[in-house]
Chain A
Amino acid sequence: MEEIKKKFGELIKVVFVKPLRIKIQVEPRDIVEVATFLRDSMGFDHAESAGGTDYPKENQIEVIYHLGSYTREDLGAHILSLTARTSRDDARLPTLINVYKSVEYHERETFEMLGVYFEGHPRNERFLLPEDWADIPPLRKDFRIKGR
């Protein structure tokens, strides 16, 4: 944790530090640089999952990557959550696919479920939803299940 702070200083915002769990928030333009540093110097070698949360009150969508390590034994139990926020109206973020190959399908899922366009991702297209889906992305809060 100290190392990341020393390297990036004001660029990152530490949301919380709990035992085994750290969450940091970065600006969208810095996310690739921070992720590359985490992979190369900190040993977080894969992303366990990536997803997003919709916050309509703040008009923002938070995309979160849960990073873990297979190669460093002392980090085996740790999860570092790397997040970035983007506007709901024009949700765009740079892709991390060139840093973490393992986010490929997770980002695709986030694209269709929350409508976040990942710049540089080769396939921002339908994945789990039906091909004829013609509604807003379903995990946004203004999408309501019928009858509920």
Chain B
Amino acid sequence: MTSLEDKFEESKKLGLQIVRESEEDRLMTLSVGPQHPGSGHFRFTVKVDGDYIVYCDPDPGYVHRGEEKMCEYRNVIQNIPHLERPVIHDSSNITYSYSLAIEELAGIEVPRRGQYIRALASELNRQVYTLYWLAIYGIFLGHSTMFMWPTGDRELFIDLLEALTGARVTHAFNIPGGVRNDIPDGFKDWCIRQMRYFQKRLKEYEDIFYNMPLFRQRTEGVAVLSKEDAVKLGVAGSVLRASGVPYDIRKAEPYDIYNEIDFKVQYMKTGDCFARSYVPFLDMQESCHIIEQLLDKMPQSGEVRAKLQPNPKGPPGETYRRVESGRGALGYYIVSDGTPKPYRVKISVGSFRNMLALPYLLVGQKLADMPAVYWSLNYWPVEADR
């Protein structure tokens, strides 16, 4: 029997123009994003060999705004509204650690009631963000009910936040020194009512989405991130906790009044797409308990904001403060030179850190699994670009 090599030689003798297939010809390069709704504002290049992804290169920066540079031109209070733009669905958390850092630098003492209210606003905001993320995860796995339900139930929390802060998404509520306003009358009862209803809905989410065999098949055992690799890559938030590391800033380094709150760090050990999508769901359940405790333990009266000078400033120094946001640890490194404007602001966000796991997880997966892997990373492109 003639081998393939002999046939090739034979065809050359016959004068046929046959070109041998090279390794490169097998690969096809695809550009995902930045304007495809499935990628967010983010582009990454993948090379596929048939169905399988063999190479992935993230290329962020489509919505880079230069937040860090902008901070150097404004005084600390003026920085609040533009700092929440990177992630408007979680705007209370992204200004939370900024406020903590400024308070440390300027030596501001926050009243206890103010601490409770801003923790409450941050927990409500975390629910808004996680529901939005869940809606996107649902629709990109072809489950349109899971797009409609969380988008609708988000309104529960948006309404609460609107009554609390006066705005539906960009609140500018957590500021250095406390919060902007006190909570309105009847807020507690309304909040508890909404929370009861939401907890019932969470059970329905589990039935229709997380327990669905199709969803399980698409996510279980897909793109496993082991505990060792998660630590090595330095991923944050739900991605880290899904790989079996019970690390949550609220527990590891409690800020404000979180050491008075009784809650568990939710984590799973499998590290696959299912775990990464289920841990935020468990976080939502836990957040409901936290919100109820915050409402119960809150001092009934008192100041909500420390009296500040028009341009708060402290002695020269530097600090690094972080909180747990919807996407993991969110840290601010702020250097102050003693003037009202920060000398340098560095924002370390969970999304930027989780991006490192994307090429690591995607290589070796089927292209059809790409949305399941990509969105399971709890990645928010606008926040990563800053």
Q: Which residues of A contact B (CB under 8 A)?
A: 20-21, 23, 45-49, 51, 53-54, 64, 66, 70-71, 76-77, 79, 81, 100-102, 104-106, 113, 127-130, 138-139, 143, 145, 148
Are B233 and A66 closer than 8 Å at their CB atoms?
no
* B344 close to A (CB within 8 Å): yes
Q: Interface-forming stretch among B20-28, B58-66, B110-118, B152-160?
A: B58-66
Are B352 and A48 closer than 8 Å at their CB atoms?
no
Are A20 and B253 closer than 8 Å at their CB atoms?
yes
Closest Cβ neighbor of B59 among chain A residues: A127
Given A66-B333, A77-B252, A105-B352; A100-B234 close (CB under 8 Å):
yes
Are A129 and B231 closer than 8 Å at their CB atoms?
no
Which of B68, B234, B320 is A81 in contact with, Cβ under 8 Å? Answer: B320
Q: How far is the CA of A128 from the CA of B68 in the complex (A)?
A: 13
Are B231 and A138 closer than 8 Å at their CB atoms?
no
Are B232 and A129 closer than 8 Å at their CB atoms?
no
Are B61 and A48 closer than 8 Å at their CB atoms?
no
A-B interface pairs (CB < 8 A), number: 85
Q: How far is the CA of A116 from the CA of B66 in the complex (A)?
A: 18
Which of B68, B73, B348 is A139 in contact with, Cβ under 8 Å? Answer: B68
Q: Chain A residues near B230 (CB, 8 Å)?
A: 70
Given A70-B245, A105-B352, A129-B61; A49-B346 close (CB under 8 Å):
yes
CB distance from A100 to the nearest CB of B (A): 7
Are A46 and B232 closer than 8 Å at their CB atoms?
yes
Which of B233, B319, B329, B333 is A102 in contact with, Cβ under 8 Å? Answer: B233
Q: Chain B residues near A106 (CB, 8 Å)?
A: 352
Q: How far is the CA of A114 from the CA of B343 in the complex (A)?
A: 15
Q: How far is the CA of A111 from the CA of B183 in the complex (A)?
A: 45
Q: Chain B residues near A76 (CB, 8 Å)?
A: 247, 252-253
Given A49-B331, A53-B343, A70-B245; A130-B353 close (CB under 8 Å):
no
Q: How far is the CA of A54 from the CA of B346 in the complex (A)?
A: 12
Main secondary structure on chain A at its contact with chain B?
mixed
CB distance from A62 to the nearest CB of B (A): 9
Are B320 and A70 closer than 8 Å at their CB atoms?
no
Which of A49, A101, A139, A148 is B232 in contact with, Cβ under 8 Å? Answer: A101
Q: Chain A residues near B318 (CB, 8 Å)?
A: 23
Closest Cβ neighbor of B68 among chain A residues: A139
6 new A-B contacts, CB < 8 A, other than A79-B320, A128-B64, A145-B69, are: A45-B231, A46-B231, A100-B234, A101-B234, A104-B356, A138-B69
Closest Cβ neighbor of A102 among chain B residues: B234
Which of A48, A71, A105, A148 is B329 in contact with, Cβ under 8 Å? Answer: A48
Are B73 and A145 closer than 8 Å at their CB atoms?
yes
Q: Could you jot down 16 A-B contacts, CB within 8 Å?
A: A20-B253, A45-B232, A49-B331, A49-B348, A66-B348, A70-B245, A101-B234, A102-B234, A106-B352, A113-B68, A128-B61, A128-B64, A130-B61, A145-B66, A145-B69, A148-B73
